[in-house]
């Protein structure tokens, strides 16, 4: 089973990918996470990637494909792709890889979200280093720097989660990633979901779509 999640930054792809991973025993592949893992190795490649990401630019297709090379070998286990493909070139390459491996795409889920909501989600997003919890300080009453889940004070904000970067990422999204939506739109496995709803409601929609007869 191959499930592809597309949509603007902070639209909820990562959250839904984790839920789908648990429910359908999939591998969750997030290109953003793979890139951040490369950055944390402090290699020259990592430094180049950091410059691109922190300014809100996309990483070139060949670099992404290089990183994904092994991860995309399906080996019988299904995958949920979060943040890939983000360009038409990546979409076409993925279609080829899926075909070559004799696999099938089960769903392409496109999350819709108003632009201002995207920006608000990005600038208020924080993550806890201790338990990995990703949360919005918008919804934590009297936020005092503690993680609402585990109470740790080891909280950080992603370097690319600034307002300037958020607005730039939205422009890139419209230019580079909207065509990916068009590429899949006519397929029977394409669905669109309103990303501005409770997590469980969205999850229910996606699950019913996947399990439809
Ligand atoms: P994400 O964690 O999905 O928000 O991704 C963070 C950043 O990583 C993006 O803003 C891009 O700079 C880069 N990135 C992630 N996935 C891709 C991709 N498929 N193609 C190019 N750049 C990517």
Q: What is the pLDDT of residues 118-135, one digit of tens each?
A: 999 999 999 999 999 999
| Signed CA dihedral, 111, 107, 28, 140: sign only | positive
Work out the number of other CB atoms within 10 angstroms of the CB of residue 197.
Answer: 13
Based on the residue annotation, tell me whether 36 is a catalytic residue of this protein.
Answer: no
Question: What was the pLDDT predicted at 63?
Answer: 92
Q: Give residue ranges with CB within 6 A of ligand 1.
A: 9, 31-32, 35, 52-53, 57-59, 64, 83-84, 86, 90, 160, 169
pLDDT tens for the chain, 213 residues long, are 899 999 999 999 999 999 999 999 999 999 999 999 999 999 999 999 999 999 999 999 999 998 887 778 767 789 999 999 999 999 999 999 899 888 899 999 999 999 999 999 999 999 999 999 999 999 999 999 999 999 999 999 999 999 999 999 999 999 999 999 999 999 999 999 999 999 999 999 999 999 986
- Angle formed by the axes of helices 61-68 and 31-40, to 10°? 90
Q: What does the longest C-alpha to C-alpha distance in the chain come to?
A: 53
Question: What was the pLDDT predicted at 150?
Answer: 97
- For residue 109, give the H/E element and its range: strand 105-112
Q: How many helices (H) and strands (E) does the chain have?
A: 9, 8
Q: Catalytic one among 21, 86, 121, 126?
A: 86
Based on the residue annotation, tell me whether 158 is a catalytic residue of this protein.
Answer: yes
- Distance between CA atoms of 84 and 171, rounded to whole angstroms? 17
Question: What was the pLDDT predicted at 89?
Answer: 97
Question: What was the pLDDT predicted at 69?
Answer: 79
**Residue 147 CB partners (closer than 8 Å, separation 6+):** 128, 130, 131, 133, 135, 153, 154, 155
CB 209 within 8 A of CB 128: no
Ligand 1 centre to CA of 180 (Å) is 14
Question: What was the pLDDT predicted at 74?
Answer: 64
Work out the number of other CB atoms within 10 angstroms of the CB of residue 77.
Answer: 10
* pTM: predicted TM-score of the whole model, two decimal places: 0.94
Question: What was the pLDDT predicted at 119?
Answer: 97
Ligand 1 centre to CA of 212 (Å) is 30
Question: What was the pLDDT predicted at 124?
Answer: 97
Ligand 1 centre to CA of 25 (Å) is 24
Q: Best mutation site among 4, 16, 35 for ligand 1, i.e. most ligand atoms within 8 A of its Cβ?
A: 35
Cα distances (Å, whole numbers) of residue 8 to 13, 33, 130, 164: 9, 16, 27, 15
- Distance between CA atoms of 50 and 53, rounded to whole angstroms? 5
């Amino acid at each position: 089973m191959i499930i592809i999640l597309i949509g603007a930054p902070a639209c909820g792809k990562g959250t839904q990918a984790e839920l789908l991973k648990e429910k359908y025993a999939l591998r969750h592949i997030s290109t953003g996470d793979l890139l951040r893992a490369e950055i944390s190795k402090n290699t020259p490649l990592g430094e180049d990637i950091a410059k691109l990401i922190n300014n809100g630019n996309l990483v070139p297709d060949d670099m992404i494909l290089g990183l994904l090379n092994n991860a995309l070998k399906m080996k019988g286990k299904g995958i949920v792709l979060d943040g890939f493909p983000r360009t038409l070139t990546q979409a076409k390459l993925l279609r080829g890889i899926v075909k070559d491996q004799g696999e099938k795409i089960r769903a392409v889920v496109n999350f819709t979200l108003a632009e201002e909501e995207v920006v608000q989600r990005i600038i208020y997003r924080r993550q806890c280093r201790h338990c990995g919890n990703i949360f919005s300080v918008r919804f934590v009453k009297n936020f005092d720097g503690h993680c609402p889940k585990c109470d740790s004070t080891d909280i950080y904000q992603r370097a690319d989660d600034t307002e300037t970067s958020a607005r730039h990422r939205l422009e890139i999204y419209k230019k580079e990633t909207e065509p990916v939506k068009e590429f899949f739109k006519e397929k029977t496995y394409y669905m669109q979901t309103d990303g501005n709803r409770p997590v469980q409601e969205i999850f229910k929609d996606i699950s019913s779509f996947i399990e439809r007869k």
